[in-house]
Amino acid sequence: MTRKIRRRVAVVGAGMSLFMRRALETGRELSYYAAQQALESAGVRLKDIEAVTMATAPDAFDGVHMKGEWLLDGAGGTRKPYLRAYVGGGSGVFSLISGWTLVASGLFDLVLVVAEEKMSSCQPHPQGAFLTIFDHTIERPLGPNLLWIFSLEQQRYMQTYGIRNEDIALVSVKNKRNALDHPAAQVAANLTVADVLASEVVAWPVHRLMVSPVSDGAAAIVLAADSIAQRLTDKPIWVQGVGWALDTSYWGNRDLSYPRYVEVAAKMAYEMAGLTEPRKQIHIAEPYDPFAYKELHHLEGLQLADRGKAPEDLAAGRFDRTGELPTCPSGGLMGVGNPIAAAGLMKVCELFWQLRGEAGARQVPGTPERGVAQAWGDLMQIGTVAVLGVH
Amino acid sequence: MSDRVAIVGAGTTPPRPLSPDQSFREMTFAAAARAYEDAGVSHRDIDSFISVCEDFHEGTSITDEYVPDQLGAVLRPVQTIAGDGIQGIATAFMLIRSGIADVVAVEAHAKSSNILRHDEVLAMGLDPVYERPLGVNPHYVAAMEMRRYLHDSGRTDTAVADVVVENRRRALGNPIAPYGAVLTAADVLAAALVSEPLRASMISAYADGAVVLVLASEERAEAALRPVWIRGIGWSSDTSALSMRDWATATYAALATAMAYQMAGIERPADELAFAEVDDTYAHKQLQHLDAARLTAPGGEPLVPVNRSGGSLGMGYCYDASALYRTAEAVRQIRGEAGRNQVPGATTGLVLSWRGVPTQTGGALVLGDH
């Protein structure tokens, strides 16, 4: 790519609903709460918003066809240019990229980005909806679910690098503890590695406390073009780089020990952000952690840890909130919860609050200037990466 | 750096009612190969990829999983727009304008023949609490709208039937259209009622097919043989709730065309456009959409040639891919490749799309030869 990015885009407001197992509110209402907070924090009204993007994962959760259309009035999209960009579990971070595209193109100056998920509508359990994500001929007859395929991936990761389950359980301990400071968290807890490994095995080697919960929730941000952002706030958080990459559908043909698609996406985002030494230049990371091992796996794909070495860094305290590179200071999906698309945008919200010094009890020490948020989805297939910073 | 974006390649598979010999992947591959060839690019020259699809049409959740291989897009930036084809084109347009990509491919496909019960899929788009329990054929939404539209506009159902007659006749001159026919208005009005006043003959029949378009920045488009420029683009959504809508007018289409006209600098669309490819999923929608696009004369006649391709009534309805078929047909018009259906001097045209029942989402595209 030879061209230069047309204009700078900043996050100027963020909001989110509580994350919970079973919300009484509808998807439209959850979207409204998050959108309303984001607008309020940006100091703008819905009528100032020129376009809306929406992220929400499979229609099968709600059993509503064209779910984006159904949610649009809750998200403030009525009679506006409205867009639902969709990359499975990667949609939450991708919604920022989609919103960035609208503003960076010069078509719009002020855009609302909403991410919503209501998984509890799916009875008896949303894993049922995931049965329909697999290839109808090759895979579905085997009756796979997500726990099943991610346990394969975790197994491959452990096998390749000689990693023990204790090393991975430590992610659950860290993130659930970090989440104790998050007012919207669903499954915050103070646990030990022994507690995690004492929880039941759901698909070996994955224990129940190594999996993020089923959640309902929504998150939202407001994006503004350069000049507008400077007028709205003294502390705009700039979108410095974005990247995304989708690997082949044939996941059975890939080496699952390393997420190449995250590496490709990260390099795209780092190049756009002008980062040459991400480990020094990135001060906070919000890698996607729907399963405990995924945080470590993704930190390696993000080039923030050596391959197979993230567990050692974790054990040494490098990723603690007070460590050299705090990861998931929010509490992540393991602690705050995992309403799929909303969980990804929650990570962007966390960077917004951390970089503005507004994260309260979760605030990482020092004055972090740059963070990275990442999400992942489809058939262990897509990486979506955004670099945000104060400059 | 220029802001101009062109469509430099278009590839389609001919829409057809059944396609048991091809999977959607094979169909998409064929359309992509034709589009890349037309644009003179290889998949490696394409910076970003967009697929337009919806889970329930595919029978697969998170259906964007199955997009990359047949486009040559493995480990590349790929995103899915769960929306209208023109929303996919708009995303490509914005990626290029933002500077993050120079060449972008947009793909949409429909394997309608895999859907056993179209009515049930349509009904899943209705609100599960307030609307779906009525349990009636979801085409009733279009029928209520048609009734209101005819009442407010003073049109008759014969005017609606004439749309069917004209589009199916035009389809005879379009080599890719499978639903060409010579009919009379009486034939159309003799068809079975689906939901009064809507008759089966007024609903576009389903088809299978795939379309891929390649868009490029001005720098890259100059190397292309036959670029067709995107002069304006717009899209808009209104609520999908039945209780909240304006049944007589297509507000989304008015907003979308207004946005596209403004970008294109078009003030008098009837004078400045040479033709229009307009959504006709239901025959009355063509009339309603032309009104919204300010292309209807006071007497009710269209002010420009409309749907020379045969529209969806003639080419078949391919869900969100229909917008890309309309766009590909508009590209052929502007390139002067439309054969028997060519509009003389077709230098500027409008494409207007709609996502179908129960949505109020549509897109507008103004294309030109310069």
Lowest mean pLDDT among A283-287, A361-365, B137-141: B137-141
Name the residue among B286, B277, B313 with its Cα closest to residue B180.
B313
Beta bridge partners of residue A389, listed in sequence order:
A238, A370
Is the predicted pLDDT of residue A18 greater than 70, yes or no?
yes
Name the burial class of residue A248, with classes exposed (0-12), middle (13-18) and buried (19+) by CB atoms within 10 angstroms of its CB. Answer: middle
B174 within a domain of the structure (yes/no): no
pLDDT of residue A252: 87
Nearest by Cα to B75 from A302, A153, A264: A264
Which residues of chain B from 93 to 152 reach within 8 Å of chain A, CB to CB? 93-95, 97-102, 121-122, 124-125, 127-128
Among the partner residues B54, B67, B239, nearest to A72 by beta-carbon distance: B239
Give chain A's radius of gyration (CA, Å).
19
Cα–Cα distances in angstroms (integers) from residue B69 to residues A87, A251, B64, B83, B216, in the given order: 15, 12, 11, 21, 21
A window 114-153, beta carbon within 8 A of B: 129-130, 132-133, 135-136
Q: Is there a cis peptide before residue B15, judged by omega within 30 degrees of 0?
A: no
Integer Cα distance of B259 and B350 in angstroms: 12
The pLDDT confidence band at residue A6, using thresholds 50, 70 and 90, is confident
Which of B69, B236, B359 lies nearest to residue A80, judging by beta carbons?
A: B236
B163: left (phi over 0), alpha (psi -120 to 50) or beta: alpha
**From start to end of chain A, where are the E strands?**
9-16, 51-55, 82-86, 110-118, 201-203, 206-207, 216-225, 237-246, 284-286, 370-377, 382-389
Residue A3 or residue B328, greater confidence: B328
Task: Kindly state the average pLDDT of the residues A239-248.
Answer: 98
What is the identity of the amino acid at A234?
D
Domain that holds residue B60: 5-116+210-221
Q: Do A1 and B101 touch (CB under 8 A)?
A: yes
Q: In chain B, what residues touch A250 (CB-CB under 8 Å)?
A: 69
B19 in A contact zone (CB under 8 Å): no
Q: Which pLDDT band holds residue A329 (cuts at 50, 70, 90)?
A: very high
B235 contacts B323 by C-beta, under 8 angstroms: no
d(CA A38, CA A233): 13
pTM above 0.95, yes or no: yes
Q: Which helix (H) or strand (E) holds B278?
A: strand B275-278
Among candidates A77, A244, A381 on the partner chain, residue whose Cβ is nearest the Cβ of B77: A244
Token readout for A91 is 């949609």
Residue A389 has pLDDT above 90, yes or no: yes
The residue-averaged pLDDT of A120-131 equals 91
CA B219 to chain centroid, in Å, comes to 28
- In the predicted model, what is the mean pLDDT of residues A142-155? 92
Give residue A373's pLDDT: 98
Q: Which pLDDT value is given to residue B224?
A: 87
Query: Integer distance in angstroms from the first to the last C-alpha of chain B?
Result: 17
Chain segment B193-251, per-residue pLDDT in tens: 999 999 999 999 999 999 999 999 999 998 888 999 999 999 999 999 999 899 999 99
Task: Please check whether residue B72 lies inside any domain of the structure.
Answer: yes
Length of chain B: 370
Query: Does the distance separating the beta carbons of B234 and A81 come in below 8 Å?
Result: yes
Position B343 scores a pLDDT of 97
Please provide the average confidence, as pLDDT, over all residues in chain A.
96
Residue-level pLDDT at A3? 55
Q: Are B65 and A81 within 8 A, CB to CB?
A: no
Residue B21 CB contacts under 8 Å (≥ 6 apart), including other chains? none
- Residue B96 counted as domain residue: yes
CA distance A319 to chain B (A): 28
Q: Which domains does chain A have, with CATH numbers?
A: 9-124+213-389 (3.40.47.10)
Q: Kindly state the DSSP code that residue A325 receives in the 8-state scheme.
A: S
Phi, psi of A111 (to 5 degrees): -135, 140
Q: Of all residues in chain B, what percent carry a pLDDT higher than 70?
A: 100
Q: What are the residues whose beta carbons fall under 8 Å from the beta carbon of B45, sequence distance 6 or more?
A: B103
pLDDT higher than threshold 80 for residue A158:
yes
Q: What is the per-residue pLDDT for B1?
A: 53
What is the average per-residue pLDDT within A350-355?
Answer: 98
Q: How many CA atoms lie within 13 Å of A40's alpha carbon, on the beta-carbon side? A: 8
CATH code, domain with B82: 3.40.47.10
**Rounded to an integer, what distance in angstroms lies between the CA atom of residue A102 and that of residue A158?**
41
**Taking CB atoms and an 8 Å limit, are B65 and A379 in contact across chains?**
yes
Q: What single letter denotes the amino acid at residue B211?
A: V
For residues B90 and B230, give the distance between their C-alpha atoms in angstroms, rounded to a whole number.
10
pLDDT of residue B2: 76
Determine the distance in angstroms separating the CA of A342 from the nearest CA of chain B, rounded to an integer.
Answer: 16
Report the mean per-residue pLDDT for chain B.
Answer: 96
Residues A192-212 as b or e (16 or more Cβ within 10 Å = b)? ebebbbeeeebbebbbebbbb
Beta bridge partners of A10: A224, A238
* Helix and strand element counts for chain B (H, E): 14, 11
Residue pair A307/A327 in contact by the 8 Å Cβ criterion = no
Interface contact flag, B94 A107, Cβ < 8 Å: yes
Contacts of B109 (CB under 8 A, 6+ apart): B24, B27, B28, B31, B53, B209, B210, B211, B318, B321
Find residues 330-369 of chain B whose CB sits inside 8 Å of chain A: 355, 358-359, 361
With 50 as the cut, is the pLDDT of residue B162 above it? yes
> Do the domain assignments include residue B55?
yes
Closest partner residue to A87 (CB to CB) among B1, B61, B79 is: B79
- Per residue in B36-64, pLDDT (tens digit) is 999 999 999 999 999 999 999 999 999 99
Task: Check pLDDT > 70 for residue A283.
Answer: yes
Give the three-class secondary structure for B236. Answer: strand
Q: Is residue B125 included in any domain, yes or no?
A: no
Q: What pLDDT, on the 0 to 100 scale, is given for residue B169?
A: 98
How many domains are contained in chain B? 1
Percentage of chain A modeled with pLDDT above 90: 92
pLDDT of residue A1: 47
pLDDT at A138: 87
Q: What is the DSSP letter of A327?
A: B
pLDDT digits (tens, 9 = 90+) for A207-231: 999 999 999 999 999 999 999 999 9
Please identify which residue in the block is written with the tokens 């749309």: B163
Kindly report, residue by residue over B279-315, the tens digit of the pLDDT: 999 999 999 999 999 999 998 999 999 999 999 999 9
Q: Do B62 and A73 touch (CB under 8 A)?
A: no
Asked whether residue A2 carries a pLDDT value surpassing 60, the answer given is: no
Beta carbons of B65 and A378 less than 8 Å apart = yes
Task: Count Cβ atoms below 10 Å from residue A252 Cβ, excluding itself.
Answer: 13
Is the minimum CB–CB distance between A331 and chain B shorter than 8 Å?
no
**B355 occurs within a structural domain:** no
